[in-house]
Structure 1
Amino acid sequence: MVAYIGIDLGTSACCVASYCDGEAQVILNEDESPTTPSYVAFSGNQRLIGSAALEQANENVGNTIYDAKRFIGRKFDDPDIADLIKSCTFEVVNEDNKPKFKLVCFGEEKILTPEQISAMLLTKLKEQAEKSLDLKISEAVITVPAYFNSEQREATLAAAKIAKLDVIRLIHEPTAAILAHGLDKNFEFEEKLILVFDLGGGTFDITIVKCKNEVFTVVKTTGDSALGGRDFDSRLMSFLEPEVAKQCGKGLPESKIAMMKLMENCKQAKHQLSSETNGKIDIPELINGNDFNETISRARFEAISDDLFKRIEKYVEEILEEAKLQPDNIDFVLLVGGSSKIPKIRESLKEKFGQQKVIYNGDPEQIVARGAAIQAALIKKSAELKSVVLKGLFFEADTNFLRDISYVENKS
């Protein structure tokens, strides 16, 4: 059996998929889950990755690292990094103007880079694929946000090298999403304008892709590598801080353990608000043995996050303006990333582009990994995908955009 591997190295969760036997499928982890939390922890003589790291995070806050993708390839003096550090429960230090993580590993104080943490996640995903497929995995396509700069891309490649993975190609998450959507749905891409709206745990980008004469061209891309679902969690935490002090008699900044517990519970409440009108936060013995209980309505959540929603709407307006397009010119909007499930965001997009144009392709947290696996197969000139290649399912980028998919030598 030949399998082609695609990896979505996400901020809050990762996903790995394979293309084999004519189908792109997500590979489940040991928890039978399609996604793996982007957490790495050191506890005693153990290194924990994924769910195991997340489960013990509340008791091991200083040695549990998350959101490494938000730091990778960035400078320490970047204003966004200063804001990120404020909400971190682990120590971030400055080395040569690069943010690094200070923690205790196997009884010794160590300083690890975002690349090293990312490499641990990639190694976990590689081993997961090897176990599932009973194959040795040495190469993969890895996705990155469309708005990642060259330093962030190089740092991602460095992480893969540490994990002993040969990167067939780095491709943009929107590209991968369109590939997966196109093949899975057998969508006839003919003279269409597609807007890919990708809001993940830590990054946000929008890409407009045009299809004409069986060639896909990126029209415009924009976004923010410091905006994502984690910012909604932080906004909810900030709103609840005064209530925590009132109920528990002590403020959050005085307890990293309490910060970690509240952060995870805010994330869960946010997820609950995607399907319900109220989200409940119930944390026994949050601080000094005092319980914390609060109910957040969807309306309240939307109100305290209003500036984040407006930032997102501004990017939508800007990309349309820069592309000299109107909402009516867009044929459909493809939602990608777990945070695209937030009702307010979906409602806003439906209002702007039309109810029928906003498309949810299965689980938006899995589509990128599946598309990356398809990309790997295309690059390797898989015989299984020959018919697809002959249909012209490849991309051509303008001079300001990294080319994602190789040209086919013979299009006839």
Structure 2
Amino acid sequence: MSSLFFSLTSLTSKDGRADVVANDAGDRVTPAVVAYRDTEQIVGIAAKQGRVRNAANTVVKVKQVLGRSYDDPETQNHRTETKCQVVDKQQKPYYEITVGEYPQYVSPEDVAKLILHKMKETAQSALGSDVTDAVITVPFEFAQAQKRALRDAAEAAGFNVLRLIHEPAAALLAYNIGQDSSSGKSHVLVYKLGGTSLSVTVLQVNGGIFRVLSTHTDHSIGGESFTQALAQHLAAEFKRTFKYDVSENARAMMKLMNGADMAKHSLSSLGSANCFVDSLHDGMDFECNVSRARFELLCSSLFNKSIQPIRPLLEKAGLSTSSINKVVLCGGSARIPRLQQMIRELFVDVELLSSAPTDEVIAVGAALQAGLLVGRESLAPEEESVTVDVSAIDLLVKEVDESGAEMFTVLLPSGTPLPARKHHTMTGAGKLSSVCLEIYQGCVMEHPEKLAKIILRDLQPSEENHNIDAVVTMKRDGSVHVSCVEQSTGRSEAITIAAAS
């Protein structure tokens, strides 16, 4: 028996440590987004990025309504914010999905079940064995009805839920806070800025016992707030350049949100980021470079709002900033350098714990909790070891440039950890009625071997170039999946290349 430990991130236990497991797209964190289509449901990054075309049937922020009644204020806030229609059925919220001949009504628990089942598949793919047990983290403010709904969804997805633990406690476990035998009280502040909410919690730690002194949660700010601010800036830049306002165009703004989200992530490690959006309006592409300084200026009010609750929360607990012994950062947006700087300035002589990836800290804590519950000594050595597969050879795409010369681009170089995903954009002359994409493996200088060819046919002639979005995914077993979409028409083709035996 293997166990899964996660907070929307799959993990396994390895030599007493927690190891984050990548999903089949090569990402270590899976967005809690579900898209409903005619014949399938899609979970994760593909669903998130596909909101441009399928917003009305894409569910986001389901945690906000899980276990709540339709009349609950949080449900009503969610109903006004989401593009997917929420309706009242027997005083419970349901999502109205319109992908077939008749509308379907999906409960938040059903959405959560799909997300959790995706986690189960991810862990089983990594371990090569069945996964049954799970430790699941929940926000501290989750009521019993919300916990019960999440547990029911997990059990429906095939899990045996060992325990539900609070996110702040998981964050402390991840850094081994309070796990030694030393006596004496200490105070820890857990600061979490996730995609959709801010949560700040002050805990007292005494000999392995955690006691929450005060907590604050704000659903009006999160990582998406920063993405939105950057997207609005990009819209203003587009208006300044092209004299057209796209801010009221939902599809265009969704494209800008996707571009802004990627740029925001880049700015956490780089001084500037380039944002490129295909066919933003009337066939016009948009490209804009954003510096980290500009991003920080655009979001200055959001940064202030993000740290504003800290002092009142400490006062409520009868503490000052100097009373805090450690600050733990978690949540994806807590990696933003400017935010970390502001927190350091607030806690001048306090240890700021941010060595672990902030979007994985809580999941790691859940893994360690599970290790304590199942007993590490019960894990056989072969179960503790998780090998990392890598690609053995370069994976390339062949295109033809404007002069007609063949051109190879390395998508996945040899040694890339698997699974892995690569996005690639190619163009074809507008006069063409079909565009061909060829996938090769090997070294460019040594006549690479052709693996597959995809042809997008019946394209409409246009004065603009055809823009083709290609996504290439290589799984752990070496199999390759390639999908192509022509931006203007949505015409798509896909192919799977089996791994060599």
Q: TM-score, structure 1 length as denominator?
A: 0.80
Q: Which runs of 5+ in 2 are unaligned?
A: 380-501
What's the offset of the Cα at 1:105?
4.4
User: 216, 222, 225: which one pairs with 1:228?
Assistant: 222
Matched, 1:338 2:338: no
Two-structure CA RMSD over aligned residues (Å): 3.1
On the 8 A contact 1:147/1:224 being kept in 2, the answer is no
Q: Which runs of 5+ in 1 are unaligned?
A: 9-13, 386-412
Note closer, same or farther for the CA distance 1:242–1:85 as it changes in structure 2 (3 Å cut).
farther
Which piece of structure 1 moves more, 45-54 or 345-354? 45-54
What's the offset of the Cα at 1:352?
0.9
Q: Which residue of 2 aligns with 1:377?
A: 371
Which piece of structure 1 moves more, 352-361 or 51-60? 51-60
Matched, 1:325 2:324: no
On the 8 A contact 2:232/2:247 being kept in 1, the answer is no
User: 221, 235, 248: which one pairs with 1:253?
Assistant: 248
Note closer, same or farther for the CA distance 1:67–1:280 as it changes in structure 2 (3 Å cut).
farther
Structure with greater helix share of residues = 1
Q: What whole-Å deviation, never above 9, does each CA across 1:249-272 have from its counterpart, x for those lacking one?
A: 353434x43232121112112212
Q: Which residue of 2 aligns with 1:139?
A: 133
Count of residue pairs brought into register by the alignment: 378
What's the offset of the Cα at 1:15?
0.4
Matched, 1:46 2:40: yes
Structure 1 letter corresponding to 2:344: K
Distance 1:57 1:189 in 2: 51
What's the offset of the Cα at 1:36?
1.6
Q: TM-score, structure 2 length as denominator?
A: 0.67
Structure 1 letter corresponding to 2:169: T
On the 8 A contact 2:4/2:132 being kept in 1, the answer is no
On the 8 A contact 1:204/1:227 being kept in 2, the answer is yes
Q: Which residue of 2 aligns with 1:392?
A: none
Q: Which residue of 2 aligns with 1:312?
A: 306
Distance 1:41 1:101 in 2: 12
Q: Which residue of 2 aligns with 1:148?
A: 142
Structure with greater contact order relative to length (CA < 8 Å, sep ≥ 6): 1
On the 8 A contact 1:44/1:107 being kept in 2, the answer is no
Distance 2:5 2:104 in 1: 31
What's the offset of the Cα at 1:346?
0.5
Note closer, same or farther for the CA distance 1:282–1:331 as it changes in structure 2 (3 Å cut).
same
1:110-149 residue pairs with structure 2 within 5 A?
A: 110-149=104-143
Radius of gyration: which is bigger?
A: 2
1:61-72 residue pairs with structure 2 within 5 A?
A: 61-72=55-66
Distance 2:236 2:61 in 1: 25
Note closer, same or farther for the CA distance 1:225–1:142 as it changes in structure 2 (3 Å cut).
farther
Distance 2:31 2:287 in 1: 26
What's the offset of the Cα at 1:338?
0.7
Matched, 1:29 2:23: yes
Structure 2 letter corresponding to 1:343: P
Structure with greater strand share of residues = 2
Distance 1:344 1:151 in 2: 37
On the 8 A contact 1:190/1:214 being kept in 2, the answer is no
Matched-pair identity in %: 31
Q: What whole-Å deviation, never above 9, does each CA across 1:336-385 have from its counterpart, x for those lacking one?
A: 11110112210111001126611113211112112112212323355479
Distance 1:61 1:304 in 2: 27
What's the offset of the Cα at 1:87?
5.3
User: 341, 348, 353: which one pairs with 1:359?
Assistant: 353
What's the offset of the Cα at 1:86?
5.6
Note closer, same or farther for the CA distance 1:324–1:365 as it changes in structure 2 (3 Å cut).
same
What's the offset of the Cα at 1:156?
1.9
Matched, 1:17 2:11: yes
Structure 1 letter corresponding to 2:248: P
On the 8 A contact 2:49/2:258 being kept in 1, the answer is no
Note closer, same or farther for the CA distance 1:43–1:66 as it changes in structure 2 (3 Å cut).
same
